[in-house]
Amino acid sequence: MLKFANKPFLVAFLLISLVSHALAISQEEEIRLGAEAARRFEQQYGVVNDPAMAGRLDRIGRDLLTHAQRKDLPWRFRVINIDAFNAAAFPGGFIYATKGLMNGLTDEELAFVIGHEIGHVDYRHSIKQLESAKLRRLGLIAIAAGAGGGNIDRGTATLVQLTDGIIGSQHSQGDEAQSDRYGMSVMAQAGYDPAFAISGLQKLASQSGGGTPDFLNTLLGSHPLPKDRIAQGVELVTQIPFRPEVVAPLAGSGDGNELLYKDATEALEYTLSLQGQRHRDSLQQIAEAIATGRRAGAPYGVRTVRVTGSKAGGLSALERQLLEDPAFDRVGQAFGAAVVDSGGNNISAVVLLEGGR
């Protein structure tokens, strides 16, 4: 029989070797860990109890949860008393937005941020980090698996270490990209235009600076929001199905067959602005006239791009067609845009472009 002189080492070795079987952290333990991290987080920074601000966050959060994957978690949305722009998510469904974020973002932009944070929980990003090989080598999970017969109990050193790991963790680029896509998708399903995710990211980037926040399990992490993340967001927007509600016509041709839709037009204008183009009122008037048949063509030197799609495909399908056109490869172009009902089951978009580089 083989004998081991160092029995504690053997026990630790066996625990670490068997941890993948002994502990995939259960949902019950996930909630317990998240609740403890949330308790300590609130204790350190304080919660804003203003009914209007708290109610606004809860309303938007509940809109998004209708389309979340893990509806059986004890989801909770609270405003943390910090002026900086940031948000955080702890396992089990404990979601936080800072007071600064609440004051600085519109409902649509906030829907993206909160959707992003819900994504981290739905995908178990923090929990997967705790189950990762890196933390297993530190022995935290091995200790947790062996403590209390496999249970993680409040008040133990293990729980403190694990919650410190949650609060101080940083999500990987892959996790952030996955949550960005999730946030855009869930906000669109809840009726918020995903184009506003880009303005939300731009505001976060302008506020992120280069400093490290006191807590790292946040939307911004420890570095400024990278420009390529905004670029990826712009690319994602046109891939997210979204059908804006078409409102009463703003203008139309004499026979009423081609009608200009205000909301859809404004949404398209916003998307093009996010792409780096510049809206010009004079081109806007000409685009509307061409779209409604009141004018035959654009002035000399102005490029015209027109696409048509089905009403069932909505504005997103039109935008995808437009942005695939090489005319949009230039940035800084002056533009005017209009979306019209082109008869039957079709809608069309007309965009005029001038200048750019």
Question: What string of DSSP letters covers 113-175?
Answer: HHHHHHHHHHTTHHHHHHTSHHHHHHTHHHHHHHGGGG---TTSHHHHHHHHHHHT----HHH
217 residue type, one letter: N
Residue 67 CA to residue 241 CA, distance in Å, equals 14
CATH of 249-354, one of 1.10.10.10, 3.40.33.10, 3.40.50.2300, 1.10.1060.10: 3.40.33.10
27-45 and 157-167 helices cross at what angle (nearest 10)?
Answer: 70
pLDDT at position 245 is 54
Question: Where does the pLDDT of residue 81 fall: very low under 50, low under 70, confident under 90, or very high at 90 and above?
Answer: very high
- Which of 206, 203, 202 lies closest to 276 in space, CA to CA? 202
pLDDT at position 296 is 86
Question: Where does the pLDDT of residue 102 fall: very low under 50, low under 70, confident under 90, or very high at 90 and above?
Answer: very high
Residue 12 has pLDDT above 50, yes or no: no
Helical segments of the chain, H only: 7-22, 27-45, 51-65, 99-104, 107-122, 125-130, 133-138, 140-146, 157-167, 173-189, 196-208, 227-237, 262-274, 281-291, 314-323
> 240-292, pLDDT tens digit by residue?
887 665 443 333 334 444 456 777 788 788 778 777 788 898 999 999 999 88
Question: Where does the pLDDT of residue 336 fall: very low under 50, low under 70, confident under 90, or very high at 90 and above?
Answer: very high
pLDDT at position 132 is 67
Question: Where does the pLDDT of residue 211 fall: very low under 50, low under 70, confident under 90, or very high at 90 and above?
Answer: very low
DSSP for residue 36: H
pLDDT at position 238 is 76
pLDDT at position 77 is 96
Average pLDDT over residues 22-51: 83
Among 34-48, 165-179, 217-231, 268-282, the range with the most confident prediction by mean pLDDT is 34-48
Question: Where does the pLDDT of residue 162 fall: very low under 50, low under 70, confident under 90, or very high at 90 and above?
Answer: low
CA dihedral of residues 172, 232, 211, 77 (deg, nearest 10): -70
Q: Which of 47-72 are b and which e, b meaning 16 or more Cβ less than 10 Å from the residue's Cβ? A: ebeeeeebebbbebbebbbebbebee
Average pLDDT over residues 190-217: 70
- Could you identify the residue written with the tokens 């966050």? 57
Question: Where does the pLDDT of residue 222 fall: very low under 50, low under 70, confident under 90, or very high at 90 and above?
Answer: very low
User: pTM of whole model > 0.85?
Assistant: no
Task: Considering only the C-alpha atoms of the chain, give the largest distance between any 2 of them, rounded to a whole number of Å.
Answer: 98
Give the rounded percent of residues in the chain with a pLDDT score beyond 70.
70
- Could you identify the residue written with the tokens 């495909």? 313
SS3 of 97, please? strand
Among 13-27, 94-108, 207-221, the range with the most confident prediction by mean pLDDT is 94-108
How many Cβ atoms from other residues are within 10 Å of residue 148's Cβ? 11
Residue 202 CA to residue 258 CA, distance in Å, equals 36
> 103-151, pLDDT tens digit by residue?
998 898 999 999 999 998 998 877 777 766 445 544 455 445 444 444 5
CB burial of residue 328 (10 Å; 0-12, 13-18, 19+): buried
Of 208 and 287, the structure prediction assigns the larger pLDDT to 287
> 323-332, pLDDT tens digit by residue?
888 888 888 8
Residue 313 CA to residue 347 CA, distance in Å, equals 9
Q: Which of 196-216 are b and which e, b meaning 16 or more Cβ less than 10 Å from the residue's Cβ? A: bbbbbbbbbbebbeeeebebb
| Domain range annotation of the chain | 11-237, 249-354
Question: Where does the pLDDT of residue 200 fall: very low under 50, low under 70, confident under 90, or very high at 90 and above?
Answer: confident
Question: Where does the pLDDT of residue 167 fall: very low under 50, low under 70, confident under 90, or very high at 90 and above?
Answer: low
What's the token pair of residue 179?
């949550």
pLDDT at position 246 is 45
